[in-house]
Amino acid sequence: MTERLYYDDAYLTEFDAVVTECRAAEGKYVVRLDRSAFYPTSGGQPYDTGTLGDARVIDVYVGEDHDVYHVTDRPLAVGEALRGRIDWPRRFDHMQQHAGDHMIASALWRHLGGVTIGLHLGETVSTIDVDMPGGATHLSPEEVRLIERDVNERIQRDVPVRCWFPTPDELEVLPLRKKPTVKEHVRVVAIGTDEMVACGGTHPATAGQLGLVKIVGAAPARGKLRVSFLAGMRAYGDYQAKYDVAQQTANMLSTAVENLPAHVSAMQEALREAEFALNRLRREAALTAIAAEPPTVRPDGVRVVARMLEGDVNLIKDVASRLIKQPKTAALLGAEVEPGRAVFVFARAQDVDIHMGRLLSDAAKPLGGKGGGRPDFAQGGGVTEILERAREMLVGK
């Protein structure tokens, strides 16, 4: 069995080893060593990368025999003595994220009774899945702040992190946050005095080396609560990026960062007022243009208004609702959304005996469009020719 050096020293970045096995596999090579500091994918923590001699290590995993295997880009000779080198920035990032997971899980358990059931250290954001009391799948902003403050206070106090293999007797009395998933060779991680759980991952020596932990999401996932977080340099990078964006936005609006919410709120209100005024002008312009045209009147006295308007579906709904207040009126309106394609609203006055849903459907389907609705109101979309086809179905060519 490969001696796992990372158990004794998570900070070991170089080591000497001997190749005990090497076999080809799908254009790559699977290598076993007598000893290794490379962490294999397990417990939600990704594998280490680095080099073995001149070979690049591109994956590390635990085989069915529970031993450690390294996937390399070139073969290594059995019996060869070589130097292994760990990609330290990747390893330390994973150490920070994994310790952050433990500290968030501990705070969720102590304050809210949440039981962590899964961990995933992603390339950009890490997540933990939590079984919350009562099946809750959200955290309030106040609860998020509570958990963040708890974790970051412990980081500021630089509480110690201890990893060890307790004896069976010691394991029996340890106040673990949850039961181990294995029965033999149980390794325990303790962070300060209020977090202790079985874990085989790599961790920093003290909580202070995390620097900062930030929760960036708390939302439902597969019926549980999923908490997304950043630790260490990931959290710093996120803060730096958001600070830059906030500062740039404030500069664009000629205000201070702390005034952005009020400034944006005022802009939104002004925009709503401008949109309301613009829509009113568009509606009046459309109604004026329609009134200036001689109406098309059917033999039964129904006045048919068929017209393409500049605007959106809300505008043509508004115009249609105004037109059909007049008796004996049918409104067939469209608004182009892209060249050659439009949305349509067909509506009629209460004293008109025309089924608008069927009319729109019958006009749209032969031209590849869609539409339908009630006898007095219908909505759909498709090529602009649908409007003319519907008009011809009502009044002829």
Output the pLDDT for position 183.
Answer: 84
* Domain total in the chain: 3
* 43 and 170 both lie in a single domain: no
Taking alpha carbons only, the member of 134, 183, 192, 137 closest to residue 161 is 192
The 10 Å Cβ neighbour count of residue 349 is: 18
* 109 and 234 both lie in a single domain: yes
Output the pLDDT for position 221.
Answer: 95
3-state SS, residue 287: helix
pTM above 0.85, yes or no: no
Domain membership of residue 155 (yes or no) is yes
Strands 303-309 and 329-338: parallel
Name every residue whose Cβ is closer than 8 Å to that of residue 160 and which is 6 or more positions away in sequence.
191, 192, 205, 206, 207
Pairwise CA distance, residues 172 & 166, whole Å: 9
Taking alpha carbons only, the member of 244, 246, 274 closest to residue 258 is 246
Q: Look up residue 131 and give its two tokens.
A: 């079984």
Q: Look up residue 61 and give its two tokens.
A: 């995993």
Output the pLDDT for position 310.
Answer: 87
Give mean pLDDT in consecutive 10-residue pieces for the chain, a chain of 397 residues. 95 98 95 98 94 97 96 97 98 97 97 94 95 96 97 97 95 93 90 94 97 97 96 96 96 95 95 91 86 87 92 91 94 94 96 95 94 94 95 86
The CATH number that applies at residue 175 is 3.30.980.10
* 184 and 314 both lie in a single domain: no
Pairwise CA distance, residues 202 & 121, whole Å: 12
Domain membership of residue 258 (yes or no) is no
Provide the β-strand partners of residue 68: 62
* 73 and 205 both lie in a single domain: no
Pairwise CA distance, residues 333 & 307, whole Å: 5
* 51 and 78 both lie in a single domain: yes
* 306 and 376 both lie in a single domain: yes
Q: Of 49, 64, 86, which one is at a domain's C-terminal end?
A: 86
The 10 Å Cβ neighbour count of residue 200 is: 20
The 10 Å Cβ neighbour count of residue 269 is: 10
* 330 and 370 both lie in a single domain: yes
Q: Are 352 and 323 in contact (CB under 8 A)?
A: no
* 125 and 216 both lie in a single domain: yes
Q: Would you call 35 exposed, middle or buried from its count of C-beta atoms within 10 A (0-12, 13-18, 19+)?
A: middle
Output the pLDDT for position 69.
Answer: 98
**Which DSSP state fits 79?**
T
* 121 and 32 both lie in a single domain: no
Buried-exposed string 361-395: b where 16+ CB fall within 10 A, e elsewhere: bebbeeeebebbbeebbbbbbbebebbebbbeebe
The CATH number that applies at residue 357 is 3.10.310.40
Output the pLDDT for position 175.
Answer: 94
Vertex 209: Cα angle to 178 and 186 (nearest 5): 30
* 99 and 221 both lie in a single domain: yes
Output the pLDDT for position 397.
Answer: 64
- What's the domain range around 230? 92-241
* 19 and 151 both lie in a single domain: no
